[in-house]
A and B are shown apart, each in its own frame.
Chain A
Amino acid sequence: MATGLTLKELSKKEDLFTHGHRMCAGCGAPTIVKMALMATEYPVIAANATGCLEVSSCISEYTAWKIPWIHTAFENAAATLSGVETMYRSLKKQGKIDKEVKFIAFGGDGGTYDIGFQSLSGAMERGHDMIYICYDNGAYMNTGIQRSSATPLGADTTTCPAGSCVPGKLRPRKNLTKIMAEHNIPFAAQASPSHWMDLMKKVKKAHEMPGAKFINIISPCNRGWRSKTNDAITLARTAVNTCYWPLYEIENGVTKITFTPKEKLPVVDFLKPQGRFKHLFEQGNEWLLKAMQEEVDREWAKLQAAEKCGC
């Protein structure tokens, strides 16, 4: 199906995730959802894990979703959507439905990296025809900024607060995008709302490939990141330009970096504007900044090597 991913064409499209939702001002998630839903012409059915996006977008008799939408619980958006998709397949096989329908699950990092990890892994392994989009803001933001396995090294959260003895989170993030790619799914990718064309192209491409697809999207959260309300897109761009959040895709096992920064910025450029990393710039915590830069460099080098070797 022809989709013009140009601003001109996109400006004519209806928002399928509308105004009236109650997400915080400056949250990255609604922008990501809008972009993802705009990226295809196919009818889409969405599932949503419990979290900020879910509790703020469908309350009592109001909904911001103009498409069929289902939320059941926190840890099971992938399993729930796999049920919806299986019913669709069953009815299609029996000749009871003939439309082409696409399926997207949205979950935050808590619902995806942590409590929903098994359910996601199961759905990816089974190969349901769906995209799972994680909007990764690096902590349990809905319950008030608790540490998740997506929380970056050194970050101050309410369950690993930076104190006089413990300088925030002491473990690096889990590399979920790679773990999902290792499920031998046709498409796993990372995207950022700062690079909207790249994001939408990935969603569009994923929809057109049969099977289970996973897209991890960085989603700035000014409440949890302790950053300025109007900085979401700027911070997402800095995450990309520092290679903290590289943009890449793994299509049928082949890695491709979809955006290489002209100049790879030091990771401190990403950390400095965020209050959750404030303590890293205090005396005695230099080692954490160093460890953070080393982690980013190491992962970026591995990614470049993977692209180079065609794996």
Chain B
Amino acid sequence: MAKVVAVTGNEAVANALRQVNPDVCGIYPITPQTDMMQRYASFISNGKVDTEAILVESEHSSMSACIGASAAGGRVVTATSSQGLALMWEMLHIASGDRLPIIMPVVNRALSAPLNIHGDHSDAMGARDTGWIQIWSENGQEAYDNTIQAFRIGEHMDIRLPVMVCMDGFIISHSIERLEYLEDAAVKDFVGPFKNLFPLLDLEKPKSYGPLILTDLYHEYKRAQHEVMMKVKDVVLDVAKDFEKLSGRKYGLFEAYRLEDADIAVVILNSAAGTTKDVVDELRDKGVKAGLLKPRLFRPFPYEEMAEALKNTKAVCVMDRSDSFGGYGPLFMEVSSALYQMKNRPALINKIYGLGGRDYLPSHGEMVFNELAEIAAGGKIRACKEYIGVRE
């Protein structure tokens, strides 16, 4: 039976990893992830897992070692945040290009400069085009559940891609929440044994990983990566169905919250979605048809499904906790691409909020919905991109 606990997001994810019991784990400290891998190291030291840790000297080496370990043949995990993910950037492409199903919780944190250890999404958004599957989590429960599901998704024999499971630094990683843990045996059974594909340790049939491929085949190789990404959505939904049977918790490509008949809606990732849901409830009590869409799968991005979910809205605000300076927020760009394909599309605005852990308050959400209501009623769009909660 499920066990109800009060734990932090980091502790929950460390426990998910313990229940999966991977063969190799790359460990390197970085705030706010440190605490997760510290807990995992203690599982190793106390014989709770069979994992061999590699206590690397940098995140670049961590991802390099994870790639070597995964190519050798076995289940591999690591975790990181912010600068650590940025330092891994080169190797992220190689992990996905080599089709290695490494699982990596990313505890989202702002990028330097200026130095800031708090939560925003700049790190994972910077890794958007690295060929990794990205799954985002609102709270500790989702981070725990998504971590367990990530193994089934990434390791699926039709997929074989690395997966990042994102959760907000400090807000989720360090806050204690009520959580339901699955039984160890149930997780083990759900994830199943690791299936090898072209392991280096197969000495009878030697494999070469990482050849030089120039103009003859590189283009085809990259198209193949896109094609496999396009199969991910179905696998995510299948795994979610199985997970629901096990846990009773329902997951999709995104969460549509009171969106069905909504006139105005906010699209928002991770923990701030929780705050915004309260605002939606309050507005609904007042008779305002407000709704919310919280993306879960960001790569691959479910363009058609999202357009379908937003088709009846009149005005939508995409809220980004990261920025593309001189451009729109990265989530906005995706949603706008999704909506462009529709004949009758809602008005669309972009707000940048919460950079470097700046508080996102219910009043911010209210302000956004008020603006959307005006736009929906025929009001002019003041500015397509604006910063909220910012000091002037």
Contacts and interface: CB of A to CB of B under 8 A. Distances in A.
A69 B208 contact: yes
Nearest to B53: A86
Interface residues of B, number: 45
B57 A86 contact: no
Interface stretch (A89-97, A218-226, A260-268): A89-97
A72 B102 CA distance: 15
Contact of B206 (A69, A75, A87): A69
Contacts of A73: 64, 90-91, 94
Interface string B57-90: 1101110111111111110100000000000001
A90 B65 CA distance: 14
Contacts of B58: 118-119, 122
A71 B64 contact: no
A126 B50 contact: no
Contacts of A90: 23-24, 50-52, 69, 74
Interface in B146-205: 200-203
Interface stretch (B117-125, B211-219, B305-313, B371-379): B211-219
A60 B212 contact: yes
A72 B203 contact: no
B283 interface: no
Contacts of B94: 72-73
A87 B209 CA distance: 16
B201 A45 contact: yes
A66 B64 CA distance: 23
Interface string A79-120: 111111111111101100101010000000000000000110
Interface in B196-241: 200-203, 206-214, 216-217
B211 A71 contact: yes
A59 B211 contact: yes
B7 interface: no
B76 to A, nearest CB: 7
A58 B67 contact: no
B54 interface: yes
Nearest to B209: A70
B381 interface: no
A126 B55 contact: yes
Nearest to B66: A83
B83 to A, nearest CB: 15
Contacts of B55: 126
A66 B70 CA distance: 21
B50 A83 contact: no
Contacts of B66: 83
Interface string A207-234: 0000000000000000000000000000
Contacts of A58: 208, 210-212
A59 B215 CA distance: 11
Given A47-B68, A84-B68, A87-B73, A122 B61 contact: yes
A76 interface: yes
A119 B26 CA distance: 14
B256 interface: no
B23 A68 contact: no
B56 interface: yes
A125 interface: yes
A43 interface: yes
A99 B203 contact: yes
A196 interface: no
A71 B64 CA distance: 10
B310 to A, nearest CB: 41
Which residue of B71, B98, B202 has the most chain A CB atoms within 10 A of its CB atom?
Answer: B71
Which residue of B67, B72, B201 has the most chain A CB atoms within 10 A of its CB atom?
Answer: B72
Contact of A63 (B69, B71, B74, B208): B208
A75 B60 contact: yes
A65 B212 CA distance: 14
A72 B208 contact: no
A97 B201 contact: yes
Given A68-B200, A68-B207, A83 B54 contact: yes
A67 interface: yes
A82 B65 CA distance: 6
12 contacts: A45-B203, A59-B213, A67-B206, A68-B202, A72-B64, A72-B98, A82-B68, A84-B69, A87-B23, A87-B74, A87-B76, A99-B203
Closest 10 CB pairs of A and B: A83-B68, A122-B57, A83-B65, A71-B210, A87-B72, A79-B61, A83-B69, A79-B64, A76-B64, A90-B52
Interface of B: 23-24, 26, 50-52, 54-58, 60-62, 64-74, 76, 90-91, 94, 98, 200-203, 206-214, 216-217
Given A79-B62, A87-B76, A118-B57, 13 more contacts: A58-B208, A59-B214, A60-B213, A65-B208, A68-B201, A70-B68, A70-B208, A79-B61, A87-B23, A90-B52, A99-B203, A121-B57, A123-B61
Interface of A: 43, 45, 47-48, 54-55, 58-61, 63, 65-73, 75-76, 79-91, 93-94, 97, 99, 101, 118-119, 121-123, 125-126
